[in-house]
Structure formats: C-alpha cells, structure tokens
Chains A and B, each alone.
Chain A
Amino acid sequence: MRSSLRFTITMAVTTTPTPATPATPSAPKKFHRAWLILAILAAAQIVGQSISMAAGIMVAPLNDPDGVFGWNMGLIGAALATYYLCGALAAPLTGMLGDRYGARPMMFACGILYAVSMILIGTVTHLWQFFLYFGVLLSVTQSLAMVPILASVNGWFKQRLGMATGLLWASGGVGAAAVAPGIAGLLNTVGWQTTFTVIGLGGGGVLVFLTLFFHSKPADVRATAYGSSPDDPPEIFRSKAIERLRLKVFNKAMRRTRAFWNLPTIHGLGCAGHGIVLIYSIPLAIDQGVSLAAASFILALISIFSIVGRFMAPILAERMGAKPVMMTALFIQGVTVLVLFWAHDAWAFYLFAGLFGLGFGGEMSAYLVVNRQYFGTGPLATLYGFEMMGALSGHAIATILGGLAIYVTGSFNPALVLSMFFSFSGVLVIFSMESGARVLIPDWEDALPPEAKTTQQLSDQAARAALLEQAGGD
C-alpha cells in the first residue's frame, strides 16, 4: 500500500503539466459547442428515461395470467426491488468511474449495455433471466445514463448551468411522456421480443452514435466552457497519476463536509415523499369513486406540471441560491398532499396533480446547481452518484413503507402522512445546511503535494506555454 502511494507521488513529481491551448473566449452571440453537448445529453436523457418507462409498461404483459409469462406480482415486485437496489448501489460506482475516466467512455458503455440488456430482455423465458437482465443489467445501464453522463454538463457550463440543467431535465420529462406510449404501442403491435430488440438497437445505437460527437470536458477538444472569460486560468492537462491523486483528495475533502451526507439524504426524503404519491394517488382516486379513465389523467397532469418545476428550479437556484428554492419545492410537494385527504371528485385530484407536479419537478432537478455552489467546479459525478443512490433508496422506502402502512391500517391516510413527513423532513434538513454562498472546500488543494496543486505559478507557466505554442503555430 505504502509503496503504491510512493509510486503515485513519484510519478506526480516527474510529470510536467502541459496546458490546453486556450481557445478563443466564448463570444456571447456565437454558437457555443456546449449547446451541442447539451443537445446530446438531452438525447441520452430521453434514452435513459425510456428504461424506467419500459419498467412501468412491461409489468402488465409479465403479469397477464393468459400471457406467455403469467408471473405473480410478488415476483415482479421483487425484480423491481432488485432494480432499485442495484441502481442505488451502482450509482456511486458509475459516478466514480465518470470522474475517473470521463463521461464519454461511460456513454459508449451505456449504449452497448443498453442494447445488450434490452435485446436480452426480449429473449426472457425464465424468471432468473428477468432478474439478471432487468434487475441488474438495466439498473447499471440507467445509472450510467443518469449519473456520469448527466453530471458532465457541469464541466461544459461555467455560466448558465441552471438553464442547461433545467433544459436537460425538462427534455427528459417531455421525452419520457413521448416514449411511454411509443413502447406501449410497439408491444401491442409487434410483440414482446421485437419491441425490446427494436428499442435496444434504436436506443443503444443512438447513444453509441452520439459518442462520436460527445466530449467529456471542454479541454478534450481544446475548447473552453460556456461563459469562460479570457482572464480565466487555462485548464491544465495533468498526468493520469496526478489527476487520480487530485480526485482522491477532492473526494476526501467532500466527504468531510455535512453537505456531502445531507444532499443524498434530502434527495432520498424527497423521492420517498413523491414516490408514495406517484404509486398510490390513482388507487386512492379510484377508491374515492373517481372513474379509472379520469384517474389516469392524474399522473399525466403531474408529469406535465413537473416539467415547469424541472425547468425552473435549477434556473432559480442559480440566481437566488439553492437552499430557498429546494426548500420551497419540497414544501410544495409536502403541503399539496393535504388536498388528497379531502379529495373526492376528479377536479380535486387534478388540482392536486397540478400543484404537486410543480413541487415534485423542482425537488429533483436542482442538485447539479447545488453541487456547484457547495463544491465548486471540481469532479462532482461521484457526489451526484451518491445523491442518486439516495433517490433510488427513497423510492424503495416509499414502496415498502407506503405499502405496509396501507396494509396494516386499511387506509391511505397513513401513507399520505408518511409522504408529508418525508417531504417536510427534507425541508428541515435543507434548512440545517450551510449557506450556498461560498464554496465549502476552498482549501482542498492544501492536502495535495506541491506538484499536484494548481498554483498561480503553474497557471502562469501553462498560459505562457500555450501562448508560445500559439505563436509557433502562427
């Protein structure tokens, strides 16, 4: 162990950093490559969202007693639980891989894994195959799509990260709404195997193709992030050994802050809060006498109104600070559940859906902006992975606790109380957090050996070398 550390540091000492050639500073009116990257990420989001959409739609054919499978809901539920748990475990790992190797190889791996998993799901004949292909392979695929790929937007936008994140989440929401009927239509017309083969080849092919145009960070194509100014120090290319050391020290410094632990906790509480509502609002409406057709619109309305929240929350978080925005979103998510205690008619459920959708959408989308405010522009995919771990754990908790509460009491009310409890607990945890006005670990580089630090001298050296290289080229 000790010899390996010594080797790493020795490597670090003998490596001379080389600068990225500074590109022309971003002209505000000119099309910036970051927007192309954002469009690619939005497409990847839609493909990633199709996994959870497929999960919802495949339950009915799997459960159909007259169909090919005829599995009972207990077994399908166990597979879904496996999917959540594997996803929760995989999220931090995929985040770490993203920080270490960059988002581009993750996108390529995600495309291949997506195609393989979906095609394999099309061939399922035994339950163990479904557990493996869906519960394990697709959960890892979704973690790749949702964590390192999504988090890479952080490096491409020095300014307007809020808008970029909002657009990403909103496009994911719109895409999800469009993908769901598409998958359902395919299942009805061409059957199980062809549907998943088509989805696998289509989605996986799109991801692999987009990898050709995608780059993990601006320095990979000698560009600068959107909003960079000429005064910014040039990005320095370091050896892999030094990058690894810097990542390790940065992550250690992050883990020592309360925010590192509280942010996944908040995401978990928020997801547990809305998870209960998403699962039980329709059975509740039917229980109250609302017709099935009318009740089906509740989720559709929640999805539509959530797009507003998804888009606006990161933008507002960037302008006003993340704490008040996240607290407001979670408070709306929690307080609107009160409507459900007295709702009997369809219009009351629709009113609830609209209001709840705003809070629900805002709860989930501001994390990349919050991470920037707390931890600066460092490699943050690992942190985002832990936040996704919290989110998926929250959904699992919502399923278990909500079900148990309804089971033992025979009423939806305790589950609704739990939902509110989770959302309001999230508000309290946010309230207890530090202000996002300053970066929490400004001195994290102090723990690095001198040759791995970003000193002013090193930045100047890099800038001089870049200018010389540019002059030589001219």
Chain B
Amino acid sequence: MSISKRIPVPFTFAVVLAVVLALIIFFGAWAVSADVGAQRTLAFGLPGTTPTLSGGNLRDPNSGPYQVGRLVSTVENSDTWWGKAFLRACPLH
C-alpha cells in the first residue's frame, strides 16, 4: 500500500473549525458574564419552533422564541459548570 496513514487536514477546514469554536466560546462567555436572563425574549428560536404554514405555534406567547423566560432558573449562569467553562476558555471575558 503506497497510501500513508497520515490524514492531511487542509488549512481551510482547520481554520473554519477554529473560528466556529472561538465564536461559540466568545458568545457563550459573553452570555454568561452579561447574565441578561429573561430580557432577551427573542433569542433561541429553537429549530421546529418557527411556524409552519399556519404559524400556530407562534400565537402562543409561551412557545417558540418567547421561551427564554421558561429556560431561566434561579441558579446564576456563572455558577454552573458550563458557565465557568465558558469564562475560563474565553480570554476576553
């Protein structure tokens, strides 16, 4: 077999992967440190919560993009393990 076992990961793939990870860490740490809680009612429009042709699931103020209020717990995000991990990983927060 002349094909070696080394897998040549191209530069573009590595850069895209690194940038996406950096963006997730940056915005994640920002979200934890800002701790804006339930103010952002339009964030996290989860897939599937956008309306179908009838748009019925948007009529309910407790559904879809308006759900952040129900996601919020009494624990501070910065005290959770994932909150700490984001803050530790991001050099800007």
Contact = CB atoms under 8 A, between A and B. Distances in A.
- Say whether A associates with B: yes
Contact of A261 (B10, B23, B44): B10
A404 B13 CA distance: 23
Q: Contact residue range for chain B? A: 35 or more
Contact of B40 (A300, A400, A406): A406
B64 to A, nearest CB: 8
Interface string A175-191: 00000110010000000
B12 to A, nearest CB: 5
Contact of A407 (B44, B55, B64): B44
A405 interface: yes
Contact of B57 (A60, A249, A446): A60
B54 A296 contact: yes
Contacts of A269: 16
B18 to A, nearest CB: 12
Contacts of B31: 404, 407-408
A73 B67 contact: yes
A60 B62 CA distance: 10
B58 A292 contact: yes
Contact of A59 (B30, B39, B48): B48
Interface string B57-93: 1111011110110110000000000000000000000
B50 A407 contact: no
B16 A429 contact: yes
Contacts of A55: 47-48
A399 B13 contact: no
Contacts of B62: 63, 65
Contact of A293 (B47, B55, B60, B64): B55
A299 B51 contact: yes
A395 to B, nearest CB: 7
Given A265-B16, A404-B30, A405-B27, A77 B46 contact: yes
A289 interface: no
Contacts of A268: 16
A403 B62 CA distance: 17
Contact of A258 (B10, B27, B70): B10
Contact of A72 (B7, B30, B56, B70): B70
Contacts of B63: 59-60, 63, 73
A393 to B, nearest CB: 9
Interface residues of A, number: 67
Contact of A404 (B1, B24, B64, B70): B24
B46 A399 contact: yes
Interface in A262-289: 262, 265, 268-269, 272, 275, 278-283, 286-287
A295 interface: yes
Contact of B28 (A56, A73, A299, A404): A404
Contacts of B43: 403-404, 406-407
Contacts of A64: 60
B39 A72 contact: no
A56 B19 CA distance: 30
B49 to A, nearest CB: 5
Nearest to A77: B46
Given A56-B50, A407-B44, A292 B71 contact: no
A295 B55 contact: yes
A428 B11 CA distance: 13
Contact of B12 (A63, A76, A429): A429
Interface string A424-437: 01001100100000
B55 A292 contact: yes
Contacts of B55: 282, 292-293, 295-296
A356 to B, nearest CB: 14
B46 A59 contact: yes
Contact of A184 (B1, B16, B52): B52
Name the residue in A256, A295, A397, A406 with the highest tally of chain B Cβ atoms < 10 Å from its Cβ: A406
Contacts of A280: 42, 45, 65
A390 B31 CA distance: 26
Given A72-B70, A400-B24, A180 B53 contact: yes
Given A258-B10, A262-B10, A265-B12, A80 B54 contact: no
B3 A256 contact: yes
Given A59-B49, A60-B56, A282-B58, 5 more contacts: A249-B1, A286-B58, A292-B51, A402-B45, A447-B2
Shortest 5 CB-CB contacts between residues of A and residues of B: A296-B55, A73-B67, A404-B27, A407-B43, A403-B44
25 contacts: A58-B48, A59-B49, A60-B63, A72-B67, A72-B71, A73-B44, A73-B63, A76-B48, A77-B44, A252-B3, A256-B3, A265-B13, A279-B47, A279-B50, A280-B42, A282-B45, A282-B55, A293-B55, A299-B51, A399-B47, A404-B31, A406-B40, A410-B36, A418-B23, A447-B3
